[in-house]
Homo-oligomer: A and B are copies of this chain.
Amino acid sequence: MIIVLKPRTTEENVKRVEDMVRAKGLSVHTVYGEDLTIIGCIGDTMRVDSRVFEVDKSVEKVMHVQESYKLANRAFHPEDTIVDVSGVKVGGEHLALIAGPCSVESEEQVIEIAKAAKASGANMLRGGAFKPRTSPYAFQGMGLEGLEILVRAKEETGLPIVTELMSAEYLDVFDEKVDLIQIGARNMQNFDLLKQLGNTKRPILLKRGLNATYEEWIMSAEYIMASGNPNVILCERGVRTFESYTRNTLDLQAIPVIKKKSHLPIIVDPSHAGGKWWLVEPMAKASIAAGADGLMIEVHNNPEAALCDGGQSLKPEKYDKLLTEITQIAKVVGKTV
């Protein structure tokens, strides 16, 4: 942490700020420049709220030079983490290929889509049982009944299942039945929920919040890891910008950035990012070319009749064709399908 002092700060005031820093358990190293004086703060700065120094009349600003996360930090864990989702490896050279409907609507629907997706090469099944909806009047998902349908689809196809947890209330049942527990974008900073995820060893799929910085996203992973669950997969799903033609702006730079800062795997959800089915194919290919560890794609056998987000779902035939091209691009960048 570096404290930049105001121009022409007196010797006495420099000393006072240095003392404030020492009082927080840090040691100081002060550099006198031409116009500016800066105080380098040495020690465990992670536990100090730096803004407290900004109150001081002699302080211009406080700058962080170090990340605030340890467990998720590649600096302390240089090798790629490979997460095991009930036998399916994610990370390193292994791709997660997750497909399925936005919402679980019926057993027939889910099993039909699951079989088609598996035949195309998918290795996990997604489906929403509890749905976060902007409107209280919109379809909120089938809940536990939807979860049971996913379990039956798993029995039928052998595909591990991925579904979203919205409340700690259901953590026990998710722990028992769900292979990969999804935390949605809107709950990325529901810190209370994140802390509870240490009570399961099931892998967590942590979606990026709509306006979360890379640092905040990794900090949310750190919450889960610090609570005792090291099995976290990150999922880029677009961020909110001024552009409203697409639902969100997919940030594929997130892939190399996360890989540089963290050892955790990162996959991409191109369906939610753009909100339009014809954006899914080019963005899925781009994601793999950029080094993503997998894709989560909405596939629906009858998008026109979907209860939710039909407009962003691929039909099984299109998904099948997409995976063929994905396989070729994966080879170029050193991944296996």
Contact = CB atoms under 8 A, between A and B. Distances in A.
A42 B31 CA distance: 9
Given A40-B38, A51-B310, A136-B223, A282 B291 contact: yes
A-B pairs, top 10 by smallest CB distance, nearest first, are A51-B311, A289-B289, A211-B211, A54-B311, A286-B286, A286-B290, A186-B189, A285-B289, A167-B192, A31-B40
27 contacts: A2-B2, A7-B75, A31-B40, A33-B42, A35-B66, A46-B137, A49-B139, A55-B310, A68-B137, A132-B191, A136-B195, A136-B226, A166-B191, A167-B168, A186-B189, A239-B243, A239-B249, A241-B241, A241-B249, A243-B251, A245-B257, A249-B251, A252-B286, A282-B290, A285-B289, A288-B289, A329-B332
Given A303-B52, A304-B20, A166 B186 contact: no
Interface stretch (A80-88, A108-116, A144-152, A272-280): A272-280
A132 B51 CA distance: 16
A312 interface: yes
Given A38-B65, A55-B304, A136-B222, A253 B239 contact: no
A76 to B, nearest CB: 9
Q: Most B CB atoms within 10 A — which of A31, A35, A68, A289?
A: A289
A134 B219 contact: yes
B255 A252 contact: no
B189 A47 contact: no
Interface in A3-54: 4, 7, 20, 29, 31-36, 38, 40, 42-44, 46-47, 49, 51-54
A215 B245 contact: yes
Contacts of A282: 252, 255-256, 289-291
B49 A310 contact: yes
Nearest to A191: B132
A133 interface: yes
A256 B99 CA distance: 22
Interface of chain A: mostly helix, strand, loop or mixed: mixed
A153 interface: no
A214 B245 contact: yes
Contacts of A191: 132-133, 136, 166, 186
Contacts of A305: 52
Interface in A262-281: 273-279
B186 A214 contact: no
Nearest to A68: B135
